[in-house]
Structure 1
Amino acid sequence: MPLPDGDTPWPPPQLAPVFDRLAAWSAWYGGDPDELETLYGESSGLRFDSTSRARLVNHPSQYRGGVVGRLARWFWGQPTPLGERRTKLHVPLAGDIAAKSADLLFSEPPTFTVDDMATQDRLLEHVEEGLHATLLEAADVCAGLGGVYLRVCWDRDLADRPWLSPVHADAAVPEWSWAGRLTAVTFWRVLADDGGTEVVRHLERHERGRILHGVYVGTRERLGRRVPLTEYPETTGLAESLSDGNVIDTGNPGLTAVYVPNMRPNRTWRTIPAATRLGRSDYASLEPFLDALDEVYSSWLRDIRLAKGRILLPSVYLQSNGPGQPATWDADREVYAALNQLPNGTGQQITLAQFAIRHEEHSRTAIELMSRIVQSAGYSVQSFGLSSDVAVTATEVTARERQSMVTRARKILYWRAALAETIDTLLAVDRAVFGAEVEPQRPNIEFADSVSQDPESMARTLQLLTAAEAASLQTRVEMLHPDWDADQVRAEVKRIRDDTGRAVVEPDLFRGIAEKPDEPAGEGQGGDDEQPDEHVDVPSDRG
């Protein structure tokens, strides 16, 4: 299909409910108080008062019922009284949840394995050139917005290989087949916006085997007319690579973009045909709890402000500074002139106002809300430091963070399939565009453990196994390096034996000893890691 033509609405009307929800998730993900207040307050627009000064005016509907009134009943929807400063406090727990999701998935880079050695070496170069950082960024966005796109990019003037670039879910219009597979996707970005009267957008449509580019000048609601790419410096470089007007041939029959859902199914959009395959955010259905958490912390800080010590005293205690000047009171003054007042006990007295700070009540409420939010998002409270228990070993950490590990395993199912597909496309573009001697194929992907074994604990375990003669040298190396393949393990075993002087004796020597009629083979002879007969001077694996 070609790019949109004519003055069409943008984004497409059928996806309006999706982008409305994405705007809410984006506000919580970004954590900008102004954006949250605009989203729920609906207090936009400028009016002029009697002094001809523009000011922000609250809508009357914020104080009553209806749709706008319902939003205003949120903490962030309550209007700030005119003339007062905003005292609402935002707790960036939503951003912390997204960061924790990314850390659980890609705190360590995944391992990509292919059969061809040249392709394997090229993949290692891609990982070292920033692929790991890209995956961390993409996973962070994926958790916040419910999904993320990974597209293959290349530019001969910038690099000698293609790379992956994440695209946020609120900047894409996907198209799905009847079986739920992504068939095409249109990305867009705003090149210029003068406040709403003119908005310049760059559209990038990915189809199988090609990419289409177009620049449109319209409004915030309409796409507008199409103009040449050379009119804007951000897209001038693309014009040189186009063929047939606006097409770039990828040299690969597949799609150069994939969609990674955060979690499925999306319970909110399951009845919207164009959005049933989109993922759901970690914040789905948790917005009221996030709003309540901000209200608790704002109330807590309000208690602190109100609890500031204040001295209340009668006006006769103030010292006049002359006509037109405010009266003052010196708290360090020791001697006062005689005051005209009633006898002590019935007259005016100095009063100290000191309100209590409800620290315990606010703290327990905040922790309860945070625990509920974290657990409903699919994570353990220990992952966010909300538990006072201290885990000692990696096994204890895994046991106490089981809910986080289960959520991580579910997300890996989506990430592994999408990464395998996009790496295959990346290799195909690398060969077609840059002439790399690689074999495009779907790699085997292994995700590193998010909870690493404590080195000291592992060393003690291996030492005990060695003393008990319960594990061979090869087994101990495999325990220490569970991500190594058989060749790496054998090479490490050989290096250890060479370094410690415990080289393996030739098998012919053992067979010659076992065949002697007067010296039957002992229990330890003939094994790779076992101790031979005591009459034979053969080094063993025991150190």
Structure 2
Amino acid sequence: MGWFKNMLRSWLNIQNLNGRQFYIQNMMDFDANVFKNYMWYRGDPEELHQFFQQVGSEDASFWATATRGVRKIHTGIPALIADVLSDIVIQDMNEVTATTRQVDVDYICNKNDIENLLSNSLPYVLVKGDGAFKISFDLKVGDYPIIEFYEADKVEFKYERSKYSETIFKNYIEHDNRHYVHKEIYGYGYIKNELYTLDDNKKVPMNTVPELADVKDFIFAGAEVDKQGIISKYGTLNMAVPFLIFKSAKFKYRGKSIFETKQGNFDALDEVVSQWIDAIRKGRTTRYIPERLLPRNPKTGETLMKNDFESSYIQTKGDISEGGNKIQVETPNIQAEQYLQTYVTVLDLCLQGLISPSTLGIDNKKLDNAEAQREKEKATLYTRGKIVEALLKVIPKLLNVSIKAMDVYHMKSITEDDIEISIAFGEYANPSFESVVETMAKARQGQSMSTEKIVDEMYGDSLTAEEKEEEVKRIKEEYGLVQMDEPGMFNSDVPDPTLEENV
């Protein structure tokens, strides 16, 4: 058939289109992109203006455009999104339980204040895309593993054959008016240290900076090095734990910021608000005042200067006729409804797929019933679910690595098996108690759920296990479902007439 297709193509004079190549220039590398997202999180209008002016964006965006006499306002929505999403997850985190070594788990969590550590790190993971936890020891602090979080712009990840192999932690140091970066390379069974100049990325000896002169490399957990100091065999433990929630489609093996596709929306929202406020300022009541009636200083008689924040006026020629000098007042019509509608539309674009407006305290549709409120929280529930899913993976791994690191520090043998660690998270936007009672009543009538399960669903963590058992017992007694002990065939308290002493 191939010869027939070629003959037909030749007869019809059909020519194949040559492959086309497309060239796209990426305006920002990973670090610059992280910094851009961080600028939105900081939310300082002056910093936003300076940053986008330097970037040299050609899309005529609001923050990149040089404007005179226009007050640029930032709404603060980006920071609010990240902080609220972090808070609604961390505040619902309950106790951490382990199948074994619960004492060590509690000790590490308490010493590192694990809840506060996660609360401080989660917003930066959401904003910058990822980060990593570093586990180290310092005798000046104590003999427990110290957990530190490094943000995305201070870590690098290395992969070999698509598998994670190293995390490089970057510490910036200034010495003798020169800037250096100390790289701590955490791999499986080793920790290596390297020092580079920041300006030309040239490797220099560690003792170039006196405070790093005593820093040594560390080999552990079965790793081996050859005579040249190159790792010839990897160990079983890596004391670095990467932390990311969403994967980036732009930067391989890196995390994705929740602001990644929202820059244009945030910029448009700030533009709408700024224009709205500018219209209000320019739309103040204007008075047309004849020269003879101008407001003057009672002491000097000089005309008072106008103020943008007070009622402005325009001077007109006076009229010498009797009663001719009159003040005329003009109030402009501000299209507030149009500004409001535009604001709501752009705000929905900013929050779309991330968080519900009602989570931020914004109610655009005025729906008051509980079912409608829960419907409005669906976007928040989705994002929160992804964050919780990531935490349920990273927290057990972080604690397992910390326990194994503590064993290495105390020269104990470590096992490759992980301890089973579970973290309980409470539910968000729960239905009302009345709604739960109604649902459980239907389940009871349909005999589709046991009494114990009904009580557990209704009260959750508000009752202890003993209180739930008592409640189940009372319910069963009321329904006559309590199983009583059967009476014995022989009562020992009644004398047996057959015994000799009773005759």
Using the size of structure 1 for normalisation, the TM-score is 0.67
Q: 1:123 to 1:476 in 2, by over 3 A?
A: farther
Q: Which residue of structure 2 lines up, in the alignment, with residue 206 of structure 1?
A: 186
Aligned residues: 433
CA distance in 1, matches of 2:393, 2:440: 39
CA distance in 2, matches of 1:307, 1:278: 49
Determine if contact 2:129/2:256 at 8 Å carries over to the other structure: yes
CA distance in 1, matches of 2:403, 2:52: 45
Q: 1:509 to 1:498 in 2, by over 3 A?
A: closer
Q: Which residue of structure 1 lines up, in the alignment, with residue 350 of structure 2?
A: 373
CA distance in 2, matches of 1:460, 1:433: 53
TM-fit CA distance, 1:169: 0.8
TM-fit CA distance, 1:392: 5.4
Determine if contact 1:205/1:211 at 8 Å carries over to the other structure: yes
Counterpart among 104, 111, 116 of residue 122 in structure 1? 104
Q: Which residue of structure 2 lines up, in the alignment, with residue 479 of structure 1?
A: 457
CA distance in 1, matches of 2:350, 2:460: 35
CA deviations on 1:22-55 (whole Å, 9 max, x unpaired) are 121111122122321122112xxxxxxxxxxxxx
Long gaps (5+) in structure 1: 1-13, 43-66, 270-274, 331-338, 517-543
Determine if contact 2:134/2:241 at 8 Å carries over to the other structure: yes
Determine if contact 2:158/2:165 at 8 Å carries over to the other structure: yes
Q: Does 1:100 align with 2:80?
A: no
CA deviations on 1:184-235 (whole Å, 9 max, x unpaired) are 12121333399xx84233322212222233444443x645644527624xx5
Q: 1:457 to 1:160 in 2, by over 3 A?
A: farther
AA partner of residue 475 (structure 1): K
CA distance in 2, matches of 1:287, 1:355: 34
Q: Which residue of structure 2 lines up, in the alignment, with residue 297 of structure 1?
A: 273
AA partner of residue 38 (structure 2): S
Partner SS for 1:161: strand
| Identity across matched positions, percent | 15
Q: Which residue of structure 2 lines up, in the alignment, with residue 192 of structure 1?
A: 174
Counterpart among 19, 23, 26 of residue 35 in structure 2? 23
AA partner of residue 65 (structure 2): Q
Determine if contact 1:309/1:354 at 8 Å carries over to the other structure: yes
Counterpart among 140, 147, 164 of residue 164 in structure 1? 147
AA partner of residue 183 (structure 1): S
Partner SS for 2:138: coil
Q: Which residue of structure 1 lines up, in the alignment, with residue 420 of structure 2?
A: 443
Q: 1:200 to 1:326 in 2, by over 3 A?
A: farther
Bigger Cα displacement from structure 2, 181-190 vs 221-230: 221-230
AA partner of residue 485 (structure 2): F
Q: Which residue of structure 1 lines up, in the alignment, with residue 263 of structure 2?
A: 287
CA distance in 2, matches of 1:176, 1:297: 45
Q: Which residue of structure 2 lines up, in the alignment, with residue 343 of structure 1?
A: 321
Q: Which residue of structure 2 lines up, in the alignment, with residue 151 of structure 1?
A: 134
Q: Which residue of structure 1 lines up, in the alignment, with residue 217 of structure 2?
A: 247
Q: 1:213 to 1:351 in 2, by over 3 A?
A: farther
Q: Which residue of structure 2 lines up, in the alignment, with residue 64 of structure 1?
A: none
CA deviations on 1:490-514 (whole Å, 9 max, x unpaired) are x5556769999x9xxxx9973556x
Determine if contact 1:263/1:279 at 8 Å carries over to the other structure: yes
TM-fit CA distance, 1:69: 5.8
Determine if contact 2:195/2:203 at 8 Å carries over to the other structure: no
AA partner of residue 321 (structure 2): P
Q: 1:192 to 1:481 in 2, by over 3 A?
A: farther
CA distance in 1, matches of 2:136, 2:268: 42
The structure whose residues are more often strand, as a share, is 2
Q: 1:397 to 1:133 in 2, by over 3 A?
A: farther
Q: Which residue of structure 1 lines up, in the alignment, with residue 22 of structure 2?
A: none
Bigger Cα displacement from structure 2, 105-114 vs 425-434: 105-114
Determine if contact 2:456/2:468 at 8 Å carries over to the other structure: no
Q: Which residue of structure 2 lines up, in the alignment, with residue 231 of structure 1?
A: 210
CA deviations on 1:241-260 (whole Å, 9 max, x unpaired) are x4xxx314465732212222
CA distance in 2, matches of 1:156, 1:498: 54
AA partner of residue 448 (structure 1): F
CA distance in 1, matches of 2:346, 2:150: 32
CA distance in 2, matches of 1:427, 1:106: 23
Q: Which residue of structure 1 lines up, in the alignment, with residue 62 of structure 2?
A: 75
CA distance in 2, matches of 1:290, 1:133: 29
CA distance in 2, matches of 1:453, 1:340: 70
Q: Which residue of structure 2 lines up, in the alignment, with residue 362 of structure 1?
A: 339
Long gaps (5+) in structure 2: 1-25, 222-234, 307-316, 491-503
TM-fit CA distance, 1:436: 9.3
Bigger Cα displacement from structure 2, 283-292 vs 252-261: 252-261
Q: Does 1:510 align with 2:496?
A: no
AA partner of residue 115 (structure 1): T
Counterpart among 374, 377, 388 of residue 401 in structure 1? 377
CA distance in 2, matches of 1:511, 1:16: 81
Partner SS for 2:253: coil
Q: Does 1:109 align with 2:97?
A: no
Determine if contact 1:107/1:450 at 8 Å carries over to the other structure: no
AA partner of residue 173 (structure 1): E
AA partner of residue 350 (structure 1): I
CA distance in 2, matches of 1:225, 1:183: 24
Q: 1:328 to 1:106 in 2, by over 3 A?
A: closer
CA distance in 1, matches of 2:301, 2:174: 54
CA distance in 2, matches of 1:104, 1:156: 36
1:492-503 alignment, distance < 5 Å? none
Determine if contact 2:172/2:182 at 8 Å carries over to the other structure: yes
CA distance in 2, matches of 1:481, 1:250: 49
Q: Which residue of structure 1 lines up, in the alignment, with residue 287 of structure 2?
A: 311
Partner SS for 1:150: strand
CA distance in 2, matches of 1:297, 1:461: 45
- RMSD of aligned residue pairs (Cα, Å): 4.4
Q: Which residue of structure 2 lines up, in the alignment, with residue 428 of structure 1?
A: 404
Using the size of structure 2 for normalisation, the TM-score is 0.71
Q: Which residue of structure 2 lines up, in the alignment, with residue 352 of structure 1?
A: 329
Determine if contact 2:173/2:182 at 8 Å carries over to the other structure: yes
